[in-house]
């Protein structure tokens, strides 16, 4: 177990996730990103961790935040949305971080279209959690706190 | 025929289209993006529609605008430029819109290099119009007004 | 703008389109090919053009007609149906025509099975209009008349 | 069990099958297409069905006959010969028929050259029978009569 | 016609087929494997043949049985289930048998997911019958008895 | 939330996992499968669930157990080892289960050789958890109990 | 040297070749198909052979003629045009002929687009002559007369 | 040279090899697996080694035996038969063994069908010997004894 | 030699290069981007050129700057980082520039993972220099000044 | 018709052709390379041309000779043997020659193994003649003399 | 057993093998090609065979020697080095030899980079021995003497 | 900085480069290989290095010279011409050299035909410089002298 250099966990969300709960409820349900932020903050607090929860439609902003997490956070959870499948820049930002990185997805990406089966991010992540809806984030927090506590 | 919830049509343009008319005139002619905006505004006006015409080199900005169009526009025309071939994020933004979406291209993309034959956006579009120069936008407006009027 | 050497537009339809309106109405609607011929003739007439509207299940017949169009027509609209994906002969007939050629499809072929994404005809067409139902033909007429008028 | 709207079964044969029995007897044996027509007519008669047995080297003619079968036949057996591997038009003609369609082959196409392993027709067929020589047609008749009786 | 060295036909079934009739009835119907065994035994009896009907979830057991069939049976029907697509061992066991081998499938495997289109077994089979539900087995029996009688 | 029809969770392990802790400790660490069984039993007990923990090198045995789980278990966790990448039979056994299925892996399979990136099982799983060592099983239990409680 | 069963050589031409000399003269020159027929007839006459020279845009007609050649001709020259790359039916018609078959092309097909590099016909031909303009036909006649004389 | 921790060499044989000598003698000759066992035992005895010679049609049994060899044997020879091309489980069992592993084949697999050119086992083997009939086993024994003596 | 319309050279750097010298020193060394900027400015100064040196994690910002360079710079050096492999937008921005463009990389990208072997930018560059660490920039400056001086 | 700058035709032969007539007579016949040289010299003499006939197993020697032919010959015939399929150097030597180049093959390479279907040389040749045995060389001479006379 | 027409075995070595023992000793060890020649000569002598041992960096020289071996040698061992993966000329030289040919490799080529997995030579070899260091040559000699003695 | 064991730099050129300046001047300009040798010698002399400049059309000769350079040179520049894309032997000769190796190309190979995009040599080079005409050699010299001085 490494000593965490912070008690803060970054949770970053990529393009279109700000609309969660408003679109395609038969796939994603009615839970909004704000609901997930609240649950995650509450759950992390039980283990003594704070949460910095952000969303952006811009790849560049996500790269900025990942670099920032490398200096300030004990761990990182990322749901990169569609950028999961197209961004090598996110991968290169994640690879040298030195803190636990968990890639999460709401739905099981392997049960969807084939172009969503490839993740550029997975090789740079500590682990992947995919398919449990909002609970994917909660399991991701447990995976990180088990590692850094 | 669905009832339009707005009389505004968004026309969004992706990377490098701001230079239209200044570069490679043998492929694209000398018409500028401003010229297209004027023709489109005039043509839409005849059917009682307004046009909100924008361009950005940033994928994230285009995603923001598509989401905005979902709330404010009666239809959307998009020429995503090079992002047509690389952006799943644009596709995911377009898919749940609920308004007519027309993908347009100035040139016939299937008569150019093979890596331009794949469009990530097409499956999320109502229709595609490609190869008629600036007239592609006018035909796109006709396609939308025929649907929402 | 080139001077049209005729005021006639050929509209050619490939295999199985004669059954339009009778089969799979959830995909193609209830409009028949005769309905489309009437609308197209009416619409072209407004711009002073006549329409020669034909259908065949035979690739060879379509090649014959395309060659004939090269001598008699001001423009050509073609919905090659399933031959779109398998016929190089149609492509070679279209390529040297010297008049505007518009490839049309009723449905968005990019949102269907992947083997329908490849069109042998597209590289030999002036432009493509796909996904607007019977209106694809009307938009195709507008595209031609805008070019040759 | 659907009610058959006819007591006629169409049996259609594609290119080069008219030469059956005259060429490559080590692969196809010495049975001719006429022999098969006789056996099939006899066998179908036992179940009270008539047979309309045809052959053409023209893809377009086969499409015409398939469309005709949709109106007049209780079931359809097709041995498309080489068109099996190249014709999407046959597939599109077969898909909406609404009567049982059995794809038959004299030889086991999966034990021959690899370009014969792909059948465009199979996804549009009710079932496939391949490899039993002329008996493939008899088994195909049994498969249809078991369904429509 | 070869002289059958036995009046017994082996019918072998692969993984998960023991659950037939209990799962996914919209694809496979409500007929159970026991029902099929009864129909097949009855049908074969009319032609003077007995049936040895077995099922296993183990590839190795199926290889054992195929080898046994080579010594005891007049013909072999095999529905290898999912092993159809992954097992070269079954193919190698079937190839040298010296008795008629019919590969059967309940559903039309070519109308399902693409990874089910490849059959390792087909090149080693005398013929294939696919897509007629439980009747595929009956047609398979007819195909064998027509050969060995 | 569905009502669990049992308070038992099956945890199934595939080929070579019985040697865990004895081989390649630089990849898998020194934890044995017995250690994981103890932790999992203890952790599930806190939520009132029992654990049935098994390992086999035989694909057929795993198929048998998955079918058994469909009748007796509230949820299923599976680490199929190398069969993850080659077995369609496991997938077909998992697909119709009707209880939550979690695919787990000790290491991040996406950071290893490319032939390990394909999982035949993922499309039939509720979700995937990969890369957290023995903790992958604990997170898998939490994912199931969150669903069925 | 086999004894020719006829002193007639069939020369068959596929789709669009009837327009030769009228289109794309920078690729094909200004020689027409009639010019080729005359030269070929003259040249064959010197060796005591007659020529039956035909063209069709219909695949089925070409298949009919190839079958006819099998009965009446001493040799066959075929320029299948675009059907070279898509027709398995022509190949199956040519394969069992039993007379010399020479595939000819005006241009060097290997120096053009890559989809023209594949010829379905070549494996069924005795030899190929490609790239010498109208002279390809003359060389093809020499190749046949050298074999059958 | 490592010190052998045993004087026993395991020789494992996969599916269908028990029929050796009875089938396809034109490919494999008339030597049986028992003949090979005798020659191998005799040959190894000359170098002071014993042989444990086994065959199974079950992948799982082979995995069990490989694991056992890791504890009891000085070296391992494996002819995995058809599992060579499909089993990642065998590879994972072989990779961490820590004793010399020789993959042998009776025939030259690279001169047979292309799907037999891929071996999942080769990357986990010390060396490969292929194409010398029964002598492949003898050469394999020499390769092992040269290493461990 | 063209006459330079400016004495300024743009040097643009893509995602994650701002962290150079802080991460993975075994691959990239300990030189920072600031160090490179200083060396480049000094080196260009000797030839009478100024340097405008920038970095961004945003693809859109890089496109903006490339367009700006087209108006203000005598030459452009670009190290696009991970966007090298995914961005068609950068390529389209570079293609029409009309000034020398040198693509540089610190490491030899052809000796790294295969997905880094594809560069979308190379076809739009005048030349490529890859593998000389910070010296790649200096050699790139020499290449430009040799052309435009 | 260009004016020939020489009355000499080079005929170059690649690896293993020196053994012609001694090996695999069922494929290549019993004609030797010396026989071909004699026939070619005799045939060319009738048109007033001389022949320089050479063979080498060395790619470099063939490149040397092709360059030499560029200076001394009126035309070039090349049978590159196995180098046809692997040598880009031969292609680059042939491409800029400026004299007619005919690629010849004794057998029909498209009826042999698939790796022999690709010719690196064809795009740099004026034309290809394949499949007529030694007569391929004679036809090649006719093709050249028709061009340069 | 064929009667050897010579008591000489050719051992041919391809490019760069002359440097063996001087480079990359962690892969190839410190044994030189001279050491191998000595061991091989000694070992062959015990069975009454002589050895002709050669090395060249020239593909053409290797082809010459293979042809020579066809006339003078009882068997041939070849380690073609890098030419293994690129030379069809070596394959064509080996294929018709009529004496046993053993392809040897020092290292296990299937455990190295993927482009080394393809051997053009294997289909023309009697057998393959790969991965036993210098001992691969000794085993190769045994394989030949077992065949020709 | 390593201490150079020589003050000599080898510059090796592959097939057809001896014709530089005489062929295809629109691609390569009018500079000859002799011109490049002079410029390179002059430029290297300024840094106190000598140049050994050679060209051959033979792959084997280039391998010989690379091996020689490993003993005598401080650095190596190689323009392998067409062998860049086909020779693994050159790669294996370069890989263990232990001196800086720079791969140079006159033109930007990534802007030419796709089969020229693959370089077998790049992974064995220190760096690549491509697209600056004769200046590529000068920049290559600078890259080496910066490393070894």
CATH superfamily of L8-148: Dehydroquinase, class II (3.40.50.9100)
Tell me, what's the pLDDT at L1?
A: 36
Looking at the partner chain, which of J18, J56, J82 has a beta carbon nearest the beta carbon of K88?
A: J82
Quick check: K94 and K124 in contact, CB under 8 A? yes
**Reported confidence tier of residue F143, pLDDT bands at 50, 70, 90:** very high
Q: How many Cβ pairs within 8 Å bridge chains G and J?
A: 80
Given this model, what pLDDT does residue G25 score? Answer: 75
State the nearest Cα–Cα gap between K83 and chain L, in angstroms.
Answer: 6
Q: Write out pLDDT tens, residues G81-112.
A: 999 999 999 999 999 898 999 999 999 888 78
Q: How confident is the model at residue C1 (pLDDT cuts 50, 70, 90)?
A: very low
**Phi, psi for residue A30 in degrees, rounded to 5:** -105, 5
pLDDT at I114: 79
Average pLDDT, integer, range L51-63: 96
How far apart CA A51 and CA H102 sit, in angstroms, is: 54
pLDDT digits (tens, 9 = 90+) for F21-45: 887 777 667 899 999 999 999 999 9
Beta strands G127-130 and J127-130 are antiparallel
Q: Rounded distance, CA J110 to CA J131, Å?
A: 9
**Among chain D residues, CA nearest to E118:** D117
CA distance F62 to H63: 15
- Measured CA to CA in angstroms, residue C7 lies from C10, C50, C78 at distances of 10, 6, 17
Neighbours of A41 (CB within 10 A): 17
pLDDT at E5: 61
Strand ranges, E, within chain C = 8-13, 50-55, 75-79, 101-105, 127-130
pLDDT band at F110 (very low <50, low <70, confident <90, very high): confident
Contact C92 G82 (CB under 8 A): yes
- Nearest to residue L78, comparing CAs of L106, L98, L116, L50? L106
Q: What is the mean pLDDT of residues D53-67?
A: 96
Does L14 reach chain J within 8 Å, measured CB to CB?
A: yes
Residue G100, C-beta contacts closer than 8 angstroms, at least 6 positions apart: G74, G75, G76, G126, G143, G144, G147, G148
E98: nearest CA partner in chain H: H23
H/E stretch holding I76: strand I75-79
User: How many Cα atoms sit within 13 Å of D39 on the Cβ side?
Assistant: 16
Which residue spans within chain G are E strands per DSSP?
A: 8-13, 50-55, 75-79, 101-105, 127-130
Closest Cα in chain D, distance from residue G91 (Å): 9
Higher pLDDT: I144 or B110? It is: I144
pLDDT digits (tens, 9 = 90+) for H70-129: 999 999 999 999 999 999 999 999 999 999 999 999 988 887 887 888 889 999 999 999
Listed range (B106-120, D135-149, G42-56) with the worst mean pLDDT = B106-120
**D124 to chain E, minimum CA–CA distance in Å?**
8
- Cβ separation J81–K92 shorter than 8 A: yes
Rounded to two decimals, the ipTM of the complex is 0.89
Chain length of chain D: 149
- Measured CA to CA, the distance from residue B16 to residue G18 in angstroms comes to 45
Can you give the pTM of this predicted structure?
0.89
Which residues of chain F lie closer than 8 angstroms to E61, CB-CB?
Answer: 60
Residue K120 annotated as catalytic: no
Closest CA to G120 of G36, G14, G11: G14
Give me the residues paired with residue G13 across strands: G55, G79
pLDDT single digits (tens) C93-115 = 999 899 999 999 999 988 787 78
I58 touches chain A (CB under 8 A): yes
Mean pLDDT of chain E: 91
Could you say which of K10, K105, K120, K137 is catalytic? K105
Higher pLDDT residue, K22 or L105?
L105
* pLDDT (tens digit per residue) in G3-25: 446 899 999 999 999 999 887 77
Query: What would the pLDDT profile of D14-42 be if each residue is shown by its tens digit?
Result: 999 999 988 777 767 789 999 999 999 99
A9-27 pLDDT, tens per residue?
999 999 999 999 887 777 6
Q: Are J62 and J12 in contact (CB under 8 A)?
A: yes
Active-site pick, C10, C43, C58, C105: C105
Please tell me if residue E15 touches chain F, with a CB cutoff of 8 Å.
yes
Buried b (16+ CB within 10 A) or exposed e, H80-103: bbbbbbbbbbbbbbbbbbebbbbb
Helices K135-148, K33-46: inter-axial angle, 10-degree rounding: 30
Query: Among the listed ranges D108-112, J61-65, K21-25, L120-124, which one has the minimum average pLDDT value?
Result: K21-25
Counting CB pairs under 8 A, whether chains E and J reach 3 or more, is no
Query: In sequence order, what are the residues at sequence separation of 6 or more whose Cβ sits closer than 8 angstroms to the Cβ of residue J57?
Result: J14, J15, J16, J18, K59, K60, K61, K63, K64, K67, K89, K93
Which of K36, K28, K99, K91 lies closest to K59, judged by CA?
A: K91
Chain K, nearest residue to J26 by Cα: K96
Give the per-residue SS3 of L44-55. HHHCCCEEEEEE
The set of residues, in sequence order, having a beta carbon less than 8 Å from that of G89 and lying 6+ positions away, is D14, D15, D16, D57, D81, D82, D83, D86, G59, G63
D111:E123 CB<8 A: yes
More confident residue, J22 or G144: G144
At I109 the pLDDT is 86
User: In D1-83, which residue ranges form alpha helices assigned H by DSSP?
Assistant: 25-28, 33-46, 59-72
- DSSP letters spanning A20-59: TTTS-HHHH-S--HHHHHHHHHHHHHHTT-EEEEEE-S-H
D82-94 burial, b if ≥16 CB within 10 A, otherwise e? bbbbbbbbbbbbb
What span, in angstroms and rounded, lies between the C-alpha atoms of D20 and D28? 7
Tens of pLDDT, residue by residue over C35-84, are: 999 999 999 999 999 999 999 999 999 999 999 999 999 999 999 999 99
- Least Cα distance to K77 among K57, K52, K108, K95 occurs for K52
What's the rounded Cα separation, in Å, for the pair H128 and D148? Answer: 58
Q: What is the mean pLDDT of residues A66-70?
A: 95
Q: Which helix (H) or strand (E) holds E11?
A: strand E8-13
- Spell out which residues of chain B touch residue I67, defining contact as CB-CB under 8 Å: 16, 18-19, 57
Q: Chains touching chain A at 3 or more Cβ pairs under 8 angstroms? A: B, F, I
K contact chains, 3+ CB pairs < 8 A? H, J, L
Length of chain H measured in residues: 149
* CA dist., res. B129 & res. B103, Å (int): 6
The pLDDT value given to residue A7: 93
Minimal Cα distance from G27: which residue of C?
Answer: C96
J39 touches chain K (CB under 8 A): no
Residue H22: pLDDT above 50? yes
Q: Please determine, for residue E1, whether its predicted confidence score (pLDDT) is greater than 80.
A: no
Using CB atoms, list chains with 3+ pairs below 8 Å to chain B.
Answer: A, C, I
Q: What is the pLDDT of residue G93?
A: 93
G8/G88 Cα distance (integer angstroms): 26
**Residue E93: closest CA among chain H residues belongs to which residue?**
H16
Q: In whole angstroms, give the CA distance from residue J122 to residue J103.
A: 7
What pLDDT band is residue E111 in, cutting at 50, 70 and 90? Answer: confident
Strand order in the sheet with D75-79: D50-55, D8-13, D75-79, D101-105, D127-130, E127-130, E101-105, E75-79, E8-13, E50-55
Query: What average pLDDT is seen over chain L?
Result: 91
Task: Give me the residue from G24, G57, G115 closest to C64, CB to CB.
Answer: G57
* Contacting residues of J for K86, CB less than 8 Å apart: 86
Q: Is the pLDDT of residue C3 over 50?
A: no
I128 min Cα distance to partner chain L (Å): 5
Pairwise CA distance, residues F28 & F14, whole Å? 15
K81–L89: do the CB atoms touch at under 8 Å? yes
Chain J, window 68-127: residues with a beta carbon less than 8 angstroms from a chain G beta carbon:
108, 110-111, 119, 122-127
Instruction: Dump pLDDT digits (tens) for D114-129.
Output: 788 889 999 999 999 9
Q: Which residues of B touch A117 (CB under 8 A)?
A: none
Using a CB-CB cut-off of 8 Å, the residues of chain C touching B104 are none
Phi, psi of A117 (to 5 degrees): -80, -25
Q: Find the closest chain A residue to B96 by CA distance.
A: A23
Q: How far apart are CA C96 and CA C103, in angstroms?
A: 15
């Amino acid at each position: 177990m490494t000593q965490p250099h912070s008690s803060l966990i970054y949770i970053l969300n990529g393009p279109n996730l700000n609309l969660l709960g408003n679109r395609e409820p038969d796939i994603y349900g009615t839970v909004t990103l704000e609901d997930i932020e609240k649950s995650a903050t509450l759950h992390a607090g039980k283990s003594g961790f704070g949460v910095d929860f952000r969303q952006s439609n811009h790849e560049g902003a996500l790269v900025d935040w990942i670099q920032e997490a490398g200096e300030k956070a004990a761990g990182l959870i990322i749901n990169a949305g569609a950028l999961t499948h197209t961004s090598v820049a996110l991968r290169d930002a994640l690879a040298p971080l030195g803190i636990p990185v968990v890639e999460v997805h709401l739905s099981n990406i392997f049960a969807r279209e084939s172009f969503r089966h490839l993740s550029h991010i997975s090789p740079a992540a500590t682990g992947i959690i995919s398919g449990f809806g909002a609970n994917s984030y909660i399991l991701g927090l447990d995976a990180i706190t088990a590692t850094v506590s």
